[in-house]
Structures are given as structure tokens and as C-alpha cells.
Amino acid sequence: MKNRSLISINDYSKEEYIKILDLAAEFEKNPDQDILKGKVIATLFFEPSTRTRLSFESAINRLGGRIIGFTDATSSSVSKGESLNDTIRTVANYSDLIVMRHPLEGSARHASEVSSVPIINAGDGANQHPTQTLLDLYSIRKTQGTLDNLNLFLVGDLKYGRTVHSLLMAMSHFNTTFNFISPVELQMPNEYKIYLDNLGLKYYEHLDFTDIISRADIVYMTRVQKERFSDPIEYEKTKNTYVLKNTMLQNTKPNMKILHPLPRVNEISVDVDENEKAYYFTQALNGVYTRQAILASILGLQ
């Protein structure tokens, strides 16, 4: 991975995922190392994403690197109409690696083609967010001891949810059985179902969020966003249907864990937080180790 940008989860092989996860496990044991000493990392957030930015900045700080950048485009030359090409070429002069988040899809790929330093895509619109996918894989492997032959339940907005699409693509390497739980208007797009069909992987679709989750190894919850609905009444109904409550966890498998990319709205009741099956806050912490592993791999410092 040395000097190679991380743009899309689909650019990487199963072996490359595993390498990153193994390295992330090393950083979990020893998160404070000075390997980025003397390096300058640019974090360019053309749209705000506080969680992702803080996670990256924590990873960089713990490795002794220094950070330059901006937290939203209004405070930068972008608001004066500068093209992405010009911003990236300029910042590449000042830094050893660029972490970027941008509202337009394909922006990170374009940046990687004009930049003289590697780019890490921290989200390009609804397209890709590969560090999220890798931290999800890390969390799944850590809690299950393996990535192979698991039963993965994806719940909520499966139509627009970039996170679940990337996770599906990544987990398709590991003989996963998929269960999709969503309202009709937010079902998994056909292209992903065709993709699984072609691989001969099993998937099941459900409209009701019931004790079907007793089969799950992982329940991956997502936010149902208001702006996805043309009818506000439909939204209100849906919002309160796909909610995970503590009582629903009674018959679930002992190894089952609940993941969520955060932030949540109401789709996981607060009473679940104390359940040992709730893993979403630890999942966020795993993001720091995973990002440390990605930074170290790309900079050739591991």
C-alpha cells in the first residue's frame, strides 16, 4: 500500500484488508508511537464531519504527526471558487499525505490523480468512505474472531446508505450470509443483489424488524434520514419502526454484537447502551487504530 491512495474499498483485495486489520491490532496494543514524527498531514474537510475528523486527528496525534487543514470549505479558498485541482496541488506541496472529505462524488479519485502525495478518502458524497468500512471489518473480526461465514444483518436505510453498500462489498469476500431489514422505499438496490447472486451468496430481505435477529452474528444499524422521504408521514412511521430496543436482544446469540457508524438519532434506544452486545462506541474507538494502520501503511512506516 506504500504511497498508494486509499479511495475506494473496491480497489483493495481481501489480503490487503487483512494486512490493515492485522496492523490495526498492533496499534491497539500500542497506540502511542512516534512514527509520524516530522510528518505533516493535511486534513481537508470541504464539508464538516466532526467525528471522522476527530478520529483521524486523534490517530495522527497519537503517532506524533502534525496537522494542517480546514474543517469546512467556507473558511478556505474553496469559498472563493478555487477548483479542487488547484487546492489539492497546492496543499500537496505543504504535506506528506492528504486526508480529505468532500461533498462531491469522485472528488477523492480526482484528487489522487492530481496530487503528488497520497490521498485518503474520508468520504466523497454518497460514494465511498473506505476507512469506515475498514474499521467496520476490524470491529467484526475483533468481536467474532473471524470474518468468515458470518450472518450479517443490515438494518435501516439500505438504499442510500453508503456505509452498508461498502460493507456489503467488503464482506462479500468472506462467504457472508446477508439479511436486509428495511422499509420498501429504502431497500437494498438491485445492483448489489445481482452482485451477490453472481457470487452465489445468500441474502434475505425483511420488512419487519423482529426476532429474526436471533440468527445474527452482527446487527449493523443505520440512520433513516428524513430527507430520503417525499412523504413526512411515511418518515415518522418508519423512524419509529426500525428501532432496536433492549428487549429485542433477549434471544440473540451470545456472540452477537450491534454496530452503528454513528451518529445515531433514535434507531438504537439508549437502554441498549448498557447491554454488553452494544459495540458501537468501541467501534468508534477502533476507528482510531484502523486509521493509524492506514496512515502507517501508506507512508511505509509500519
Smallest distance, other proteins to C-beta of residue 146, A: 29
- 107 binds other proteins per the rule CB under 8 A: yes
Spatial strand order in the sheet of 218-221: 203-206, 177-181, 151-155, 218-221, 257-259
The C-alpha atoms of residue 5 and residue 98 are separated, in whole angstroms, by 9
Site string (185-214) toward other proteins, x via CB under 8 A = ------x-----------------------
* Residues β-bridged to residue 258: 219, 278
Decide if residue 10 touches other proteins (CB under 8 A): yes
User: Quick one: 165 or 277, whose CB is closer to other proteins?
Assistant: 165
Shortest distance in whole angstroms from residue 78 CB to other proteins: 11
Alpha-carbon gap, residue 102 to 105, rounded angstroms? 8
Report, in Å, the least distance between residue 103 CB and other proteins.
7
Question: What is the smallest separation between the CB atom of 125 and other proteins, expressed in angstroms?
Answer: 5
Task: Give the Å distances, CA to CA, from 118 to 64, 86, 88, 235.
Answer: 19, 16, 11, 41
Q: Which is nearer to other proteins, 12 or 27 (CB)?
A: 12
The residue among 199 and 270 lying less far from other proteins, judged by its C-beta, is 199
Residue closer to other proteins, measured from CB, 7 or 150: 7
Q: Which of 68, 103, 184, 266 binds other proteins (CB under 8 A)?
A: 103
Residue 159 touches other proteins, criterion: CB under 8 A: no
Site string for other proteins, 213-252 (x = CB under 8 A): ----------------------------------------
Are 259 and 281 contacting, i.e. CB atoms less than 8 angstroms apart? no
- In angstroms, the CA 17 to CA 251 distance is 32
State how beta strands 66-70 and 218-221 pair: unpaired
Shortest CA distance to 301 belongs to which of 27, 52, 99, 92? 27
Tell me: does residue 115 bind other proteins (CB under 8 A).
no
Alpha helices in 117-177 (DSSP H): 130-144, 162-171
Which residues contact other proteins (rule: CB under 8 A)?
Answer: 8, 10, 83-85, 102-107, 109-110, 124-128, 191
